[in-house]
Amino acid sequence: MEWDTTIRPLLAPLGLELYDVEFSAGSLNVVVSRAGGVDLESLTRANRVISEWLDAHDPIAGRFTLDVSSPGLERRLRTPEHFKSAVGEVVTLRELRGNEPTRRLEGTVVEASATSVTLDDHQLGVVAINLSAIERARTVFEWGATKPASSKNAKTSSTSKKG
């Protein structure tokens, strides 16, 4: 199912944007954002709207859990859009390198495209990495820095019983 096109219109009337969505291991994980941050009340409303749509349309067979959360201080980077939004920020990532050992990098995102990210790594300098080679990546919260507006990291969950 194309979750982006289904969930995005449900969130728009709530003033929320879809940051990420993934269905994995019996859990539909929806991450929402908004300029200035997302509060618990907004997450609760998003959870309710999405849950009602899921109950009405029944697109997932069996039991599953719906998790609605904000990206948080150290948000996961998975899509080209995520990396583009992180230009200028410090990130950490694990790069898969074929027969060579996995490499852990940490540095500032200099540039991002649909297929790669360029990182000014703290140890190696400027490195270009194919997005397909990234095992996992996230932004790094730096203590002592000015708090970002979206510093709230809240989560709501509900379980649906089908069948």
**113 and 92 in a common domain:** yes
Residue 12 has pLDDT above 80, yes or no: yes
Find the domain containing 105 and state its range.
80-139
User: How many other CB atoms are there within 10 angstroms of residue 139's CB atom?
Assistant: 21
The pLDDT value given to residue 39: 94
- Listed in order, strand segments (DSSP E) in the chain are 17-24, 27-33, 64-69, 90-97, 100-112, 116-121, 125-130, 134-139, 155-160
Parallel/antiparallel/unpaired status of strands 116-121 and 100-112: antiparallel
Closest CA to 109 of 131, 92, 124: 92
User: How many other CB atoms are there within 10 angstroms of residue 59's CB atom?
Assistant: 13
Q: Is residue 29 part of a domain?
A: yes
pLDDT in tens, 66-113: 999 999 889 999 999 999 999 999 999 999 999 999 999 999 999 999
Contacts of 36 (CB under 8 A, 6+ apart): 149, 150
Residue 151: pLDDT band (50, 70, 90) is: very low
- Count structural domains, the chain: 2
CATH of the domain at 120: 2.30.30.100
On average, the pLDDT of the chain sits at 89
